[in-house]
């Protein structure tokens, strides 16, 4: 098996162009942190607090540990396979076609739910009374932007990241200044009763918190565009993850300090509520604008990423062939992107934020379970990536996925089963045709 440190670039096929290697550690870290702080940070604390109550910070810590395992596995694999496609490619190469398909299907379906969650969050922060129509409009407009070939660049990522970080600093300052109403989530925790959630909710809440951590895969999927991927990708992934963990842990503490337990658990825009109930309530429009920018940036990147993975799967005939069609003046996978947009709109019209965040977390946790299994099979290993870390990541992902809210588990398990059954039937039909032919 090829050494992990080889960092070899796949050979070009005749007539196939490769992407340019232009991104260093700083840009790669900014893209990863921008993806992680995209919009998950604006929505995930409420459903997680409803489950874990005063133990919310424990859920952040558990999600952070599993995310670290997954990040190390992603970095190992991205250094060996520095091409676009992520765990769909790693799973196929290291474990076989079926694990690759399950990872790809989990990613496409889970991230389609992420698109719905981002769009709904955008709606809740911008116009709470019209959240769903605003969310649908955002999906339609951004799909149109993507079809024009306008993808998110490193520069735009840096601008959006600066806006989001400024917004989060403002929320933190507002939460510190208070006033802190009696019966806040932190006080409830000190008394040993939060009224919402508790010890049994720590794991499902960690599964939901994982939704906010999942952006570091964006760095691994940039394999073809990073200078010296074998060293740049691991450093960028770990730097982005460390920064995101510190921010999420700090926000969990401050939100519990600022908001009553029940209000934090039920809020559809928790960071906005933290500001409106503070001495800096006049800054609410700034938070709304920051959240809107984050959601739109994340949504644009997600629609692009899901479309590209669907394209890769269709090329391998793991999804219907029409999804592989690339066309128009800007050579975009227009059929895949329109299909993704249609699925997102259906989710927006039929589900709520908690359900779509749970859907997304389940699909992405399955994706990372395959990532850890694939990384376990690698031969050459750096010192920071022992095999036991892959084992911990694999079982951690499966446990978090299984303990998510039941509606999310049953819904996404059914979607995964439908994908597996569909592929099995297609392969049988192809096999019969070959035998007859």
Which of 84-93, 227-236, 246-255 reaches the highest mean pLDDT?
Answer: 246-255
Q: Which residues pair with 327 in a beta bridge?
A: 332
Question: CB neighbours of 106 closer than 8 A, spacing ≥ 6?
Answer: 363, 364, 366, 367, 370, 416
Work out the burial of residue 398: count CB atoms within 10 Å of its CB; fewer than 13 is exposed, 13-18 middle, 19 or more buried.
middle
- Give the model confidence (pLDDT) of 98-135 as tens digits: 999 999 899 889 989 989 988 998 998 888 889 899 99
Which of 23-32, 94-103, 172-181, 198-207 reaches the highest mean pLDDT?
Answer: 94-103
d(CA 220, CA 230): 11
- Give the model confidence (pLDDT) of 382-436 as tens digits: 777 889 999 999 999 999 999 998 988 998 999 999 999 998 998 888 888 777 7
pLDDT at 167 over 50: yes
pTM of the complete model: 0.83
One DSSP character per residue, 317-335 reads: TSS-GGGG--BTTTTB-HH
How much is the average pLDDT of 184-194? Answer: 53
Domains of the chain in sequence order: 21-436 (1.20.1740.10)
One DSSP character per residue, 268-315 reads: SSHHHHHHHTSTTGGGHHHHHHHHHHHHHHHHHHHHHHHHHHHHHHHH
Torsional class of 7: left (φ above 0), alpha (ψ -120 to 50), beta (otherwise): left
Predicted confidence at residue 2, as pLDDT, reads: 39
């Amino acid at each position: 098996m090829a050494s992990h440190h080889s960092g070899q670039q796949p050979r070009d096929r005749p007539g196939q162009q490769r992407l340019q290697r232009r991104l260093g550690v700083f840009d790669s870290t900014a893209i990863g942190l921008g993806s992680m702080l995209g919009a998950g940070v604006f929505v995930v604390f409420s459903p997680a607090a409803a489950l874990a109550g005063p133990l919310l910070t424990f859920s952040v810590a558990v999600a952070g540990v599993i995310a670290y395992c997954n990040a190390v596995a992603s970095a190992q694999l991205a250094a060996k396979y520095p091409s676009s496609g992520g765990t769909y490619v790693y799973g196929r190469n290291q474990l076989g076609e079926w694990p690759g398909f399950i990872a790809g299907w989990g990613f496409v379906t889970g991230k389609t739910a992420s698109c719905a969650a981002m769009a709904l969050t955008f709606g809740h922060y911008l116009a709470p009374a019209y959240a769903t129509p605003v969310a649908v409009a955002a999906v339609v407009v951004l799909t149109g932007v993507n079809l024009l070939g306008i993808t998110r660049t490193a520069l735009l990522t840096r601008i959006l990241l600066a806006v989001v970080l400024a917004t989060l600093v403002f929320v933190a300052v507002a939460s510190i200044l208070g006033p802190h109403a009696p019966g806040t989530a932190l006080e409830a925790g000190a008394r040993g009763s939060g009224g919402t959630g508790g010890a049994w909710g720590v794991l499902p809440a960690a599964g939901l918190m994982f939704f906010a951590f999942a952006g570091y895969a964006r760095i691994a999927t940039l394999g073809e565009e990073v200078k010296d991927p074998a060293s740049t990708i691991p450093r960028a992934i770990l730097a982005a993850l460390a920064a995101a963990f510190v921010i999420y842990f700090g926000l969990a503490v401050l939100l519990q300090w600022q908001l009553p337990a029940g209000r934090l658990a039920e809020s559809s825009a928790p960071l906005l509520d933290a500001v409106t109930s503070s001495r800096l309530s006049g800054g609410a429009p700034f938070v709304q604008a920051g959240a809107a920018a984050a959601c739109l940036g994340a949504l644009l990147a997600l629609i692009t990423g899901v479309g590209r993975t669907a394209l890769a799967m269709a090329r391998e005939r793991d999804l219907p062939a029409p999804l592989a069609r690339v066309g128009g003046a800007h050579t975009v996978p227009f059929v895949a992107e329109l299909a993704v947009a249609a699925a997102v709109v259906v989710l927006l019209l039929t589900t709520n934020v908690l359900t779509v965040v749970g859907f997304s977390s389940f699909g992405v946790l399955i994706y990372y379970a395959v990532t850890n299994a694939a990384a376990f099979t690698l031969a050459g290993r750096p010192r920071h990536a022992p095999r036991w870390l892959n084992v911990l990541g694999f079982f951690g992902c499966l446990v978090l996925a299984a303990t998510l809210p039941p509606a999310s588990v049953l819904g996404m398990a059914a979607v995964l089963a439908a994908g597996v059954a569909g592929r099995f039937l297609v392969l049988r039909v192809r096999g019969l045709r070959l035998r007859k032919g």
